[in-house]
């Protein structure tokens, strides 16, 4: 059992209005790229992209308790695939917020890792963003989302989108974000995520891109933009993990789908469904046929505050 904290840390928590027995929780919402167009490779090694981000209602779960220092414990079905040391994005995000805010004190963080690692659904980025949102509340900093997103960018290109965790159009390296008209239509859409449980190297997938610009992302209604788009990283990802083709074929054969595509650099693929009944039937069929695949039946998130 934790003993009494040193006086300075205790006073800091009193000023912040956080009691020693408080418990805090935040979800690292799974990210999907409804479309992902790679436009060019930049001189700095990054790539200019155009993407339509969407986020699911479910993901990893981060909990925290007040503490004298920032620490991290890992639990959950995919915890073994993570390093809980100082290079972990959760710890880096926490330290960045502590340094930038001047907060005196820490947090004992516990990450319940429910999403597969290296799977194209922003697990590490989503966890870092959840850390910023959680500590922003727990430490009573009251920073707006835009300020958290600015702090997050040096940690990873898609972490700013994960800070917001609702449908957004991303450009540049993914950090130039805007919410276009019609994105509200995505909220509540049933979605099924499927992963063959084979990790994919994002760096290798980008290196395998053929550097051919196939044109910009469309504009207009979000569902139209998604359906008329593509994922330019799918060919190199499939070359690295041929099982992705099987996942896409399996999802494409399910009744009631509105869109089937790979997310990010893979290997997670997704299907948007007309209703949750078709989604749940598809998940049951896939689980019965492929007991080595991971699935998540969920829905897309609406816009919400930090």
126 labelled as ligand-binding?
yes
- What is the SS3 assignment for 7? helix
Q: What stretches of the chain adopt beta strand conformation (E)?
A: 24-41, 47-67, 70-75, 106-112, 168-171, 176-178, 190-195, 257-262, 269-273, 294-299
Chain Cα centroid distance, residue 185? 20
Q: Does the annotation mark 57 as catalytic? A: no
Which two three-digit tokens encode residue 27?
Answer: 């979800």
Please indicate if the annotation marks 105 as binding a ligand.
Answer: no
116 is in an annotated binding site: yes
Catalytic-residue membership of 158 = yes
Q: Which of 31, 98, 113, 299 is catalytic?
A: 31
Residue of 68, 158, 232, 299 marked active site: 158
Helices 243-252 and 276-289 cross at an angle (nearest 10°) of: 140
> Is residue 277 part of an annotated ligand binding site?
no
Reported as type and span, the H/E element at residue 243 is helix 243-252
- Give the strand pairing for 24-41 and 47-67: antiparallel
Find the DSSP H helices in 42-158. 89-101, 123-138, 145-152
Label residue 129 exposed, middle or buried (CB < 10 Å: 0-12, 13-18, 19+).
buried
Residue 123 assigned ligand-binding role = yes
Check: CB of residue 259 under 8 Å from CB of residue 150: no
Do the Cβ atoms of 114 and 284 come closer than 8 Å?
Answer: no
Q: Is 73 annotated as a binding residue?
A: no
Q: Is 304 annotated as a binding residue?
A: no
Backbone angles phi, psi at 244, to 5 degrees: -60, -40
117 labeled binding residue: yes
Strands (E) in 152-285, as ranges, are 168-171, 176-178, 190-195, 257-262, 269-273
- Residue 124 is assigned to a ligand binding site: yes
Is residue 121 annotated as involved in ligand binding? yes
The answer on whether 28 is annotated among ligand-binding residues is: no
Binding site, annotated residues: 116-126
Binding site, annotated residues for ATP: 116-126
Catalytic residues: 31, 158
């Amino acid at each position: 059992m934790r003993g009494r904290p040193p006086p300075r840390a205790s006073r800091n928590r009193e000023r912040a209005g956080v009691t020693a027995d408080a418990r805090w929780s935040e979800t690292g919402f799974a990210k999907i790229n409804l479309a992902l167009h790679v436009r060019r490779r930049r001189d700095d090694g990054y790539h200019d992209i155009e993407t339509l981000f969407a986020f699911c209602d479910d993901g990893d779960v981060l909990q925290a308790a007040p503490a004298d220092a920032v620490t991290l414990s890992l639990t959950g079905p995919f915890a073994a695939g993570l390093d809980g040391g100082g290079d972990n994005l959760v710890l880096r995000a926490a330290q960045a917020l502590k340094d930038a805010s001047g907060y005196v004190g820490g947090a004992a963080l516990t990450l319940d890792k429910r999403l597969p690692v290296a799977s194209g659904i922003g697990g590490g980025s989503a966890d870092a963003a959840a850390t910023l949102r959680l500590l922003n509340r727990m430490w009573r900093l009251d920073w707006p989302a835009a300020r958290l997103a600015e702090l997050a960018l040096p940690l990873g290109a898609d972490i700013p989108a994960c800070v917001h965790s609702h449908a957004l159009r991303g450009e540049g390296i993914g950090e130039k974000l805007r919410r276009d008209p019609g994105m509200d239509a995505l909220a509540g859409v049933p979605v099924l995520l499927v992963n063959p449980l084979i990790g994919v190297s994002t760096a290798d997938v980008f290196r395998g891109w053929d550097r051919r610009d196939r044109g910009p992302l469309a504009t207009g209604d979000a569902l139209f933009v998604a359906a008329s788009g593509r994922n330019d990283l799918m060919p190199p990802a499939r070359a690295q993990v041929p099982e992705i083709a099987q996942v896409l074929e399996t999802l494409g054969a399910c009744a009631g789908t509105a869109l089937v595509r790979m997310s990010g650099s893979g290997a997670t693929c997704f299907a948007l469904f007309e209703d949750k009944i078709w989604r749940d039937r598809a998940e049951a069929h896939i689980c019965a046929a492929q007991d080595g695949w991971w699935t998540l039946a969920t829905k897309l998130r609406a816009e919400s505050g930090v």
